Amino acid sequence: MEDKAFVPQGLLPSYLAEIFGQLYDEDGLAVLGKGLQSDMLLASLVRFYADPEEGHYAEEETKKKDGKPPLVLVLGLHREAERTALLNILTSWGTPPEILPTILTNEAGQSKERAALYQQGGVFVITSRILIVDLLTATIDSIQIDGLLVAHAEQVTETSTEAFIIRIIQSQRQFQSSSSNSNEAAFVKAISESPEQVMSGFSKVDKILKALHVQRLYLYPRFHDSIREELEGRNPPKVIELHQELSPLQKEMQQAIAVALQTVIRKLKESKALANLTLLLDGEQFTVENLVTNPLDQALSRNLEHDWHRLSPETKQLIQDLRTLRTLFQNLLTYDCVSFYKLLLSIQSMSAASRHPSMWLLTPAADVLFRKAKERLFTLHRPLPTKQVPNPVLKCQPVLEESPKWRLLRTVLSEIREKFEKEVADRAAGPTNILVLVKDDRTMAAVKDYLVQGNRALLFRWLRFLEQQNDRSRSITVNGGVETLSEESRVLLEEESRCRRILFGDQSKRKRRQNAPINHIPNFVRKRRRITREKARGEATMQTEDLERNAVLDEAVDLAEHDDSNDLEYEASPLNTQDDHFTLSFPDELRIVLKSYASLDQPSLLLQDLSPRYVLFYDTDITFVRAVEIHAALSDVQIEVYFLMFQASAEDKIFMKSLEREQNTFERLINHKKMMSPPALHCATTTQEMQHALAQGSLGGTYMGGSLPLAFDSRKGRKANEEKRDIAVDVREFRSVLPSILHQGGMRLAPVTLIVGDFVLSSVHCVERKSISDLFGSFASGRLYTQVESMVKYYKVPCLLIEFDPAKSFCLQNASEIGVEIRSDSICSKICLLTMHFPQLRILWSKSPHDTLKIFKDLKKNHDEVDVERAMEIGRNELEDSFFESSSESDEINEVARDMLLRLPGVNIHSARKIMQNCDCLAELCDMSRDELRRVAGPVTGQKLFTFFRQKMSAANI
């Protein structure tokens, strides 16, 4: 493929044009290395299929008879930031607004409006849930769809919604084109930038290709010839690696953490609680270095998921200690001395209060770690006695050791400024930008404080630490006086006063914050605990002590990172501060811009806007490193790149391991590609029911608007297969994988909005499906009681389906927590109470969605097919009654006006309640503008009301 004019010259690397040509010529899956700008590739494909003059539609052989542009759907952009990034890239290329892709989310209106948009053609960025519902309800016909662009293809599995969509589209097109003896399938072009996820698991890449209905696999690692020539041959950046040694205290602390890790690993091997655990720990990869560079503690927990309830509390705590020590390894390099010591103290205090304290805290290595961390912060010394002072008192000497990388950053910035001042003649017009990249917003704030205020920033943190540490001491002195304090506590109280005088002076009006109670729990910790409880719901294999064990580290990190900067009166700084970055400008137009990776969704656009002359990687990130390489290759300006890394540290090892891991993954993919056979797509292009209909030779009967066939034999006047297969499914359930598995198993799905239940199998069976996490949440909120009450009211056989995750153990609650008494914190007790209140309720236990399919088939036997219309109407009257009851409680309700409001076009119970809250009468509603109606009633209902109120009445129709 030649370079397309729809992408401005110099904005798209040549290797992306090569991948573009291969994908255009033949459908397939393109796997790129991290940071090689797959978003640019997706944007170029979108622009090509949307451009009527220079794109796909402009080619004469691709024009349709009706003159409409091709209908192309973009899947896989689940986050709003990703959809916005795609639009920003296209806009930066000068794409006309009329051919920008249309975003279809849950706010895209009703099915009629979407059907009208589909008829016009074009490119649509659509969520998977909306598209699958539109396909099953015939809002969009598969024959209209020309192709699909799939982002994040590594997430496509056999049971994913994207695979469900592709299976339906290709099978419908095959069925509808069989009469014309043609088998033109919709094109599928998939992109992935996560080679490790593509290769993880058994034959994962083959399964992805089969689910995507493509046969070609395109691999583009960083060492690909075209990429290497592009990035290293044209204008490579000047790279300067600066390896900073750790401070002597940091080295000793790092060594102490490594010794503690070795102790924990040895204890785990000695426990030998399970044969599976022993095999995992005896592997060569379970070393200290691999634990630091890889989250092996998470892998260990996943492998022990099925046997977690059989492990002893000591073994569980040892596995948690691996995570804690790995976190300390990383935070030693990123935290300042105050925050790291606060983290250690928080871990120590919380572990002591838990049921099973961490064993590594009792080792000599932990003693060394705490002692050296304290020495980085302050030292206590007693002067030698003299004749004048025979009994000298203990004194506190603040050390406040700053991070060595901070000094290195300041040195590099100073050298750049000196170089900038010397290059007056060669200086380009406009400001020269220095881009400093850090890991997260917290690191950015710390670097900013150091660059602006120097050591004064650490003094503020030191004062905050003293205030927190001395709260308990002040509470003791209220009753017993200063004499009751230990000598160290008394010295820290004196140091707090001295530090405050240094920062604010003797005449400072600043007041010390109010003393907190001894056992006071901060609000942010309360919030953390609520979040932990919500996340823990559904973790059936975890006991109460497991939840406490996991929360210790999270709360400790929160306490260390929580910065009550509002309590400290910082001096005004010359920084232009924003939410995600800030800029420091010097008078001579040398600008320092700090950015965090956490706030970067479009690194290429940031580099394009800033055009930095210098890029400083305070923290390394492989994605942004390659973005800088690509920007330098497309730019005419020589870019200097500085890597600031700690020598012989976990930081250096993590970055090198990530590069090594990606290279090994691509090498395995290349070898796998040589040996793998193309997926047999003909076995998956038709659904079960279509294969049966083709075998019987009966294709006359259809359902869902004639798009899918029924296995109906007109000569015998009866169905060829007596198996009952119709199921009414609530549209909200399409977020799960169960509808895809039901359809794959031969079930015919009718996506509708159900008031009662999630699945209606027949006139007597209604099923409320609950995953384990949803089950815990529904019991806590009381929602499940209301749902079961409605099912019992309208259906003879109400069913509660409890569906487990197949990757976890088939265990609702640990056996040791099941008692003989009813307890409010026991899930089994809650289920017993539910069945006592509703004896008609049937509970269905399913190990996986595939088992749910078998259960549904068994339940549908010997029963009539579901009446979809009746299932939709059930519960609506009750909803209206509740609306009337709630509205009648208010004073002076005009019932006639309320009934008239419900009969206006587009108004339902939910929108009517919102309208009544914003409008006092119908006249006020009629006088509203279009924007006001959309704000009050929603975009679709508001437009309907605006048209209805202003539609002319014709006397001829009366």
Q: Which long-range contacts (CB under 8 A, 24 or more apart) does 107-116 make?
A: 107/939, 109/939, 109/940, 110/940, 111/137, 111/139, 113/940, 114/139, 114/140, 115/139, 115/140
396, β-bridge pairs: 380
At residue 170, the 3 state secondary structure works out as helix
Parallel/antiparallel/unpaired status of strands 238-244 and 581-585: unpaired
User: Token digits for 373?
Assistant: 């961390």
Query: Which residues are CB-neighbours of 871 under 8 A, at least 6 positions away?
Result: 728, 752, 754, 757, 760
At residue 738, the 3 state secondary structure works out as helix
Q: Which strand (E) or helix (H) includes residue 220?
A: strand 216-220
Write out the DSSP string of 774-803.
HHHHHHHHTHHHHHHHHHHHH-SEEEEEEE
Residue 69 · residue 141 · CB < 8 Å: no
Write out the DSSP string of 229-241.
HHHHHS---EEEE
| Cα separation, 798 vs 296, whole angstroms | 44
For residue 701, the tally of other CB atoms under 10 A from its CB is 16
Looking at this protein, which amino acid is placed at residue 541? T
Write out the DSSP string of 809-866.
-S-SS-GGG--SS--TT-HHHHHHHHHHH-TT-EEEEESSHHHHHHHHHHHHTTSPPP
| Cα separation, 598 vs 603, whole angstroms | 11
pLDDT at 19: 92
Query: Which residues are CB-neighbours of 366 under 8 A, at least 6 positions away?
Result: 256, 260, 360
User: Token digits for 928?
Assistant: 């509203």
Write out the DSSP string of 372-414.
HHHHHHEEEE-PPP-SS-SSPPPEEEE--PPPHHHHHHHHHHH
For residue 98, the tally of other CB atoms under 10 A from its CB is 8
pLDDT at 504: 80
Residue 657 · residue 293 · CB < 8 Å: yes
User: Could you report the per-residue pLDDT of 902-923, keeping only the tens digit for each?
Assistant: 778 878 766 777 788 788 788 8
Place of tokens 């605990």: 529
pLDDT at 479: 63
Q: Which strand (E) or helix (H) includes residue 718?
A: strand 718-719
User: Token digits for 393?
Assistant: 């008192």
| Cα separation, 320 vs 357, whole angstroms | 11
Among 308, 202, 155, 306, CA closest to 804: 306
Among 688, 687, 715, 685, CA closest to 700: 715
| Cα separation, 150 vs 74, whole angstroms | 6
User: Token digits for 710?
Assistant: 């029924």
Task: Report pTM.
Answer: 0.78
Burial of 768 (0-12, 13-18, 19+ CB in 10 A): buried
Q: For 167-203, give one letter per residue: b (16+ CB within 10 A) or e.
A: bbbbbbbbbbeeeeeeeebbbbbbbbbbbbbbbeeee
pLDDT at 928: 86
| Cα separation, 308 vs 303, whole angstroms | 9
pLDDT at 114: 86
DSSP structural state of residue 435: E
| Cα separation, 436 vs 614, whole angstroms | 8
Residue 31 · residue 104 · CB < 8 Å: no
pLDDT at 437: 92
The ranges of the chain with pLDDT < 50 are 1-4, 60-62, 65, 507-511, 515-516, 518-519, 524, 534-544, 564-580, 587, 682-721, 884, 888-891, 955-958
